[in-house]
Amino acid sequence: MMKSSMKKLTTALLALACLTACSSQPSQPAPAEKPKPKPAEFDTGRVAMQRLYVTARGWAQDAQPFRLQSQATADANGHDGKSAVWRATFASPVGRSVKPYTWVGTDAVEGFSRGVTPGTEDSYSPTNASTQIFDIVYLKFDTDQALKVAQEHGGDKVLEKAPDTPVTYILDWSKSPLALVWHVVYGASRDDAKLVVDVNAGSGDFIRVEK
């Protein structure tokens, strides 16, 4: 009986020693989780202009824009008045130079990281009619509002017939009428557009159908 008890005790002690040794082994670190992709950001034109304007003022205190335009991407077709890519070109009359800035809110554009990226500085002539600067205080109506107007003047029919048509936006100063204008472009560019509708960016009024 004594031998049986001693045998059981020895077996229990061996099991306890094994358990203690196993539990003293350093724990392996859990595999690191892969960072989740950052969701894309989409801005209306007015919001994007504010972003770009602040950065441009760091380049030249008198910087004023003369053009803003969006770019359609795989994750933003412009049907909601927003885009993941906006480019604005600013001019400095005092420095007689221009500089473009691009805001990107997506990883779907090659050659650009997210945020604002400056372009190459170039010369500027204040007498050039195609680069007429404007004050952003005239920009009162945004791209989502301009889109609604454009939809009422033929845009709805374009998207009904071809739902995959991207909608892009161009903002510049017009001499006829004398106003800041949103050009709502049903296409990736003006050249291949199915329709272009001009909307007054100051009043929100319909101006004309370009094509």
What is the b/e burial string over 152-170, where b = at least 16 CB atoms within 10 angstroms of the residue's CB?
ebebeebbeeeeebbbbbb
- Region 14-27 average pLDDT: 50
What's the pLDDT at 211?
81
- Region 19-38 average pLDDT: 59
* 180: containing domain: 43-209
Res. 68 pLDDT band, cuts 50 70 90 = very high
What's the pLDDT at 120?
96
Q: What is the pTM of this model?
A: 0.82
What's the pLDDT at 140?
97
The answer to whether residue 25 sits within a structural domain is no
The answer to whether residue 194 sits within a structural domain is yes
The answer to whether residue 188 sits within a structural domain is yes
- Region 45-74 average pLDDT: 97
The answer to whether residue 11 sits within a structural domain is no
- Region 155-172 average pLDDT: 97
Residue 198's DSSP bridge partners are 183, 208
Cα separation, 124 vs 149, in Å, equals 34
The answer to whether residue 8 sits within a structural domain is no
The answer to whether residue 15 sits within a structural domain is no
Cα separation, 179 vs 172, in Å, equals 9
The answer to whether residue 33 sits within a structural domain is no
The domain total for the chain is: 1
The answer to whether residue 29 sits within a structural domain is no
- Region 132-141 average pLDDT: 96
CB atoms within 10 A of CB 149: 20
| More confident position, 34 or 197 | 197
29-38, 111-120, 158-167, range with the lowest pLDDT: 29-38
| More confident position, 14 or 78 | 78
